[in-house]
């Protein structure tokens, strides 16, 4: 059994060094031969050439080592390697000729020889390196591999093509690029042509016999992704995507870590630009309390807040498991974070008062709420207690213990609420807005639509239904909803702390609403199946409390712009403060006595638009009957 004398990388460096040493005398004598017009070099000059080589060779070898010619690998030779060769040859030639002049006056060295030598040596050193890389990148491989069409010929597309060509296994073979930029049409990248635009995907897939389409457009907007995915679906060919731009920038993934296109790619929106400097100034070094800290929004808020180094992050969560999960995650990801976790209910006033007295939070993000619309239609008492009276308990403690900012996380369902959940969130908004003039604490409300992938949302439900083989249940083909990613929602919530002076309702720009039927169809497509054939879509009618279209602001709230282009202010509506307090006190009594009918009446007084909508629905139903 043979043993390797040198490790592989050292053997490669030794071979490269031997090659370069051999190239020095070849370049030196070729320079003399070219100087004498490819004829025989006179004997006297030939002897001087040998003497000159005695000086040039060791100096040139020293220059090679000093400039790091053997740090690079021939397999990946590129422009930085050529630059190192140019520097090493230039310095070696100048120093060698200078020493030759000092010791021998360089009488037998024609002046043109060093110049010709330097040019030849650069060619002899860089040429084999580039040829070797070219052969490796386009190595002969009898296995054809899957024929690939790459969408996007920018930097991501070029990197993806290069990685595919370097793959010795030859699983894939890039055939062509498509790109909508006209200036790239007809060009070649690594010998692969840009054969057309994205609109040509179906045609080119058929003409070129494409086996798989790879999307190398990590910075594409959701609208662009939807268009490209629809074209890929028309081609009826599997498609995969490179990771998203944020993941590539962070270095957590490589360009060749292909993945399936997710529904978040199609429904998410352009990255939000935040004033992180202002957010850090407002929140860094503060004691921050997050309620509902184990939920979808609460847990992501905790992750975002932990990055800006608060003095202490305080978590309040009613679910033991959710609190445990987010605590373990935060302690692992942020070992230096000062973290306090409290298991408890926002309705437990002694607990809330004790928490505020102990922790003295300066900023509160109130994300704890019941939010399941159909369920809460039959749980009026629980919805009122948690979403209205629980908010009141927290807000009162924030006021009593002189908290700086209190942010209420609300929902678009609070606008013209057609359900108990939305009416209760609207009630919470009304209380916080009207408490603001009576408190030194700034009470801010943030309102937005559906969050992609949050617990209890439609996307996890559709995924389960698709995995089970269907059917996918959609309430109505006309139903539309606004969608936003969880990180984007949380970052904009944090931005409102900077923008708010107290009493505002901030409305987040949710982009364009998406039809739920489109969402269902795309999720089925992305699972590799066909809607209506492999997976059926069933329309089951509106559930209790649901609306076809959600609104982000009431017609009387009159949106105004803020310093952030994704955040607007809705003008809040004042109510009589003392009548409001009496209403909430009566609600508590009705909850304690389990008087559901009285609660319904009090909720309609608090949120009159909910009462009007309910009467309107009732009249419509009677007319239909």
User: Does 413 qualify as catalytic in the annotation?
Assistant: yes
Query: Helices 8-35 and 43-66: crossing angle, nearest 10°?
Result: 150
Distance CA 211, CA 190 (A): 20
Nearest to 287 by CA among 392, 360, 354, 228: 360
SS (H, E, C) 413-475: HHCCCCCHHHHHHHHHHHHHHHHHHHCCCEEEEEEECEECCCCCCHHHHHHHHHHCCCCEEEC
User: Three-state DSSP class for 370?
Assistant: coil
Helix (H/G/I), strand (E/B), else coil: 378: coil
User: E-assigned strands of 172-267?
Assistant: 172-178, 188-189, 192-196, 212-215, 239-241
Phi/psi at 470 (5° precision): 90, 180
How far is the C-alpha of 16 from the C-alpha of 418, rounded, in Å? 76
Q: How far apart are CA 86 and CA 75, in angstroms?
A: 19
Tell me how far CA of residue 562 lies from CA of 453, 509, 567, in angstroms. 28, 11, 6
Say if residues 361 and 403 touch (Cβ distance below 8 Å).
yes
Q: Find out whether 290 and 302 touch, Cβ atoms under 8 Å.
A: yes
Q: Cα–Cα distance between 240 and 146 in angstroms, integer?
A: 13
Neighbouring-strand partners of residue 341: 315
HEC profile of 33-97? HHHCCCCCCCHHHHHHHHHHHHHHHHHHHHHHHHCCCCCCCHHHCCHHHHHHHHHHHHHHHHHHH
Which residue among the candidates 286, 371, 413, 442 is catalytic per the annotation? Answer: 413
Q: What is the CA radius of gyration of the chain?
A: 35
Cα–Cα distances in angstroms (integers) from residue 236 to residues 17, 195, 274, 467, in the given order:
52, 19, 39, 21
Residue 365 vs residues 313, 346, 404, 503: alpha-carbon distances, Å:
11, 13, 11, 15
C-alpha dihedral (403, 454, 448, 276), degrees to nearest 10: 60
The DSSP element (H or E) to which 602 belongs, if any, is: helix 596-606
Where does residue 185 fall: left (phi above 0), alpha (psi -120 to 50 degrees), or beta otherwise?
beta
Place of tokens 């050193």: 125
Strands 405-411 and 363-366 turn out to be parallel
| DSSP string for residues in 508-556 | E---S-EEHHHHHHHHHHHTT--BTTTB-EEE--PPTT--SS--SS-TT
Structure tokens at 458: 């439609």
Q: Write out the catalytic residue numbers.
A: 413
């Amino acid at each position: 059994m043979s043993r390797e004398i040198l490790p592989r990388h050292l053997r490669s460096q030794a071979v490269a060094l031997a090659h370069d040493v051999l190239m020095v005398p070849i370049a030196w004598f070729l320079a003399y031969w070219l100087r004498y017009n490819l004829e025989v070099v006179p004997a006297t000059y030939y002897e001087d050439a040998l003497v000159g080589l005695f000086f040039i060779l060791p100096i040139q070898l020293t220059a090679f080592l000093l400039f790091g010619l053997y740090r690079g690998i021939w397999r990946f030779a590129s422009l930085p390697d050529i630059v190192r060769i140019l520097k090493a040859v230039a310095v070696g030639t100048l120093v060698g000729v200078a020493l030759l002049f000092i010791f021998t006056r360089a009488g037998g060295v024609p002046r043109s020889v060093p110049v010709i030598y330097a040019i030849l040596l650069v060619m002899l050193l860089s040429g084999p390196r580039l040829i070797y890389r070219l052969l490796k990148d386009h190595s002969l491989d009898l296995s054809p591999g899957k024929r690939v069409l790459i969408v996007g010929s920018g930097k991501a597309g070029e990197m993806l093509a290069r990685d595919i060509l370097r793959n010795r296994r030859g699983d894939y073979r890039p055939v062509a690029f498509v790109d909508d930029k006209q200036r790239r049409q007809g060009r070649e990248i690594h010998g692969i042509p840009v054969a057309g635009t994205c609109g040509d995907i179906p045609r080119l897939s058929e003409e070129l016999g494409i086996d798989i389409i790879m999307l190398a457009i990590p910075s594409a907007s959701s609208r662009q992704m939807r268009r490209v995915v629809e074209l890929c679906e028309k081609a009826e060919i599997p498609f995969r995507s490179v990771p998203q731009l944020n993941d590539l920038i962070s270095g957590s993934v490589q360009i060749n870590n292909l993945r399936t296109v997710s529904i978040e790619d199609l429904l998410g929106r352009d990255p939000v630009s935040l004033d992180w400097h202002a957010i850090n100034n407002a929140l860094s070094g503060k004691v921050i309390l997050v309620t509902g800290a184990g939920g979808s929004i609460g847990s992501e808020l905790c992750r975002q807040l932990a990055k800006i180094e608060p003095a202490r992050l305080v978590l309040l969560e009613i679910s033991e498991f959710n609190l445990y999960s987010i605590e373990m995650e935060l302690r692992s990801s942020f070992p230096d974070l000062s973290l306090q976790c409290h298991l408890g209910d926002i309705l437990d006033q002694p607990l809330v008062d004790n928490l505020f007295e102990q922790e003295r939070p300066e900023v509160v993000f109130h994300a704890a709420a019941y939010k399941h619309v159909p369920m809460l239609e039959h749980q009026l008492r629980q919805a009122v207690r948690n979403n209205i009276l629980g908010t009141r308990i927290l807000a009162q403690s924030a006021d009593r213990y002189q908290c700086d900012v209190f942010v209420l996380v609300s929902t678009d369902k609070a606008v013209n609420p057609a359900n108990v959940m939305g009416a209760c969130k609207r009630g919470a908004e009304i209380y916080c807005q009207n408490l603001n003039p009576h408190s030194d604490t700034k009470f801010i409300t943030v309102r937005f639509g559906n969050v992609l992938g949050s617990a209890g949302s439609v996307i996890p439900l559709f995924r389960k239904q698709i995995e089970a083989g269907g059917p996918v249940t959609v309430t109505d083909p006309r139903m539309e909803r606004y969608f936003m990613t969880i990180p984007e929602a949380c970052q904009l919530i944090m931005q409102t702390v900077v923008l708010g002076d107290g009493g505002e309702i901030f409305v987040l720009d949710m982009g364009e609403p998406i039809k739920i039927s489109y969402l269902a169809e795309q999720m089925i497509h992305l699972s590799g199946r066909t809607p209506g054939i492999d997976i059926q879509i069933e329309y089951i009618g509106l559930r209790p409390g649901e609306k076809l279209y959600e609104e982000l602001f009431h017609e009387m709230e009159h949106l105004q712009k803020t310093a952030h282009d994704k955040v607007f202010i809705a003008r809040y509506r004042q109510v009589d403060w003392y009548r409001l307090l009496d209403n909430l006190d009566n609600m508590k009594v009705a909850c304690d006595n389990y008087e559901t009918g009285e609660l319904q009446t009090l909720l309609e007084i608090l949120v009159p638009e909910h009462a009007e909508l309910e009467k309107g629905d009732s009249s419509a139903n009677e007319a239909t009957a």
